[in-house]
Amino acid sequence: MKKYWSIAKSLLGTKHCGESCMNPKDYKLYHFFEANLTLSKESNQYPCKSFGYTKYDSTPTHGFGPVKMTLDLYDLPKVEAEPTTPCCQGKCKEPGMEKYWSIAKSLFGTPHCGESCMNPKDYKLYHFFEANLTKSELGEYSPCVSFGYTKYDSTPTHGFGPVKMTLDLYDLPKVEAEPTTPCCQGKCKEPGMEKYWSIAKSMFGTPHCGEKAASTTTAVVLPTSNCIKSKILPNPPVFNSLW
C-alpha cells in the first residue's frame, strides 16, 4: 500500500485535503473518479500537513460496493483575526531579533512599507519569498516612517506553517486635494491684507494670472519675482516664471 492524496472542493465549496493508503495497481480506477489523486513522495507521508491542511476534519468512505475508499480529510486552519495594534514599532525587544523592512505593491497596486523583527539567520529563507527585504541601518528603528510611510495600515501575518512572518504595514499619507473654490475673489476681507497679482507662463508655456492676499510686510517674500501690488493697468505685462 502507498500513500495517496488529493486536494479538492466539497459540494459546499470548502477546500479539503484527503489522504489514504491504496494499492498502486488500483490507481487508474480511482483516478477516473478523482482527477487530483496523486502519489505522495516516499519522503512525505503527511502530504496534507505539508500543504498547510493541518486541521483534522473526518474519515469518510467515498464510493460504494467494490469501488470505495476510506480516507482522512484535513482542512486549512482558521485564519486568526489580524491584530489591530502594531507588533514591531521601535527597537526590537526580543534578544537576537533585528529590524527588517520592505516596500512593495499589494495585489491592488497600492505601495506599502512593511517592517518586522526577525532573526538575521532566517534572512535567506524570507528573502527568497520577499525580494525587497532589507535589513534596517543601525540605529534606524522606524524605517517606514523615514521613507514617508507614516500612516499605520495593519499587522498581518504572511505565509503559513513554519514559514510565516508577522509585520506592520504602513501607507503613504493621503495627499490633500487642492481647493476647488477661489480663496481670494474680490476685496480682501482680512484687515491689513491687500491684493497682489502676477501673470506668468507655466512650465508648459500657458500664461496664468494669479491673485493672492498678503500684508505689505510679507509681499516681498512671495514665491515669484513678478508679484505686483494690485492697481489699474491697461496692458499688464507677462513674465516668464513658474508661478
Run of H or E including 56: strand 55-58
83 pLDDT tier (thresholds 50, 70, 90)? low
Q: Please, how many CA atoms are within 13 Å of residue 55, restricted to the half-sphere of its CB?
A: 8
Measured CA angle at 128 (ends 124, 130), to 5 deg: 110
Strands 168-171, 193-201: pairing is unpaired
Q: What pLDDT, on a 0 to 100 scale, did the predictor assign at position 39?
A: 94
Which tens digits make up the pLDDT trace of 167-222? Answer: 999 999 987 777 778 888 888 888 888 888 888 887 777 888 877 766 655 444 44
7 pLDDT tier (thresholds 50, 70, 90)? very high
Asked if residues 5 and 19 have their Cβ atoms less than 8 Å apart, the reply is yes
Q: Name the grid cell of 92.
A: 526590537
235 pLDDT tier (thresholds 50, 70, 90)? low
Q: Of 96, 132, 90, nearest to 111 (Cα)?
A: 132
Q: What pLDDT, on a 0 to 100 scale, did the predictor assign at position 216?
A: 54
227 pLDDT tier (thresholds 50, 70, 90)? low
